Amino acid sequence: MSTTTESITETALAFFDACETGKGWAKCSTYCQPNASFAAQAEPLADMQTLQQYTDWMKGLFVFVPDGSYAAKSFATDHERNNVCVYAVFSGTHSADGGPMPPTGKSTSSDYVYVMEFEDGKISHMTKIWNAGWALKELGWIQ
């Protein structure tokens, strides 16, 4: 494994943990290009265009899902395309105020994938692949 590959793998892992534990852009920016972009074909995230917006959204999620956690199921570096993919499951319960409605007491275990693209050793773009509707139904936010 080359130094560059090790570097992006380590950077992706550090970013992923910071993002998925609600550290927000203040911590996540260390691993990203300043203008890193973001994309997702999931309703709650569809208007977000920057990774800063997304990481701060994740930080906000922990206000009303304070027990949020992740389990990484697969973590792979694609040397040829200079990206890292992570498949994980996010779990948590809407148990506190601050969300889209009063606490429902309902929980979700939601599958998702991050594809992080790198430029000069830092994340330049991330795509999240997520079935948001499933998670929102489990949390009792939609029918």
For the domain that residue 97 is a member of, what is the CATH number?
Answer: 3.10.450.50
Residue 100 lies in a domain: yes
Residue 20 lies in a domain: yes
Residue 6 pLDDT grade (very low, low, confident, very high; cuts 50, 70, 90)? low
DSSP annotation of 3: H
Residue 98 pLDDT grade (very low, low, confident, very high; cuts 50, 70, 90)? confident
Note the pTM of the prediction, 2 decimals: 0.94
Domain of 51?
3-138
Number of domains the chain is built from = 1
Residue 143 lies in a domain: no
If DSSP codes are grouped into helix, strand and coil, which group holds residue 77?
A: strand
Whether the per-residue pLDDT at 52 is higher than 70: the answer is: yes
* Alpha carbon distance 20, 64 (integer Å): 15
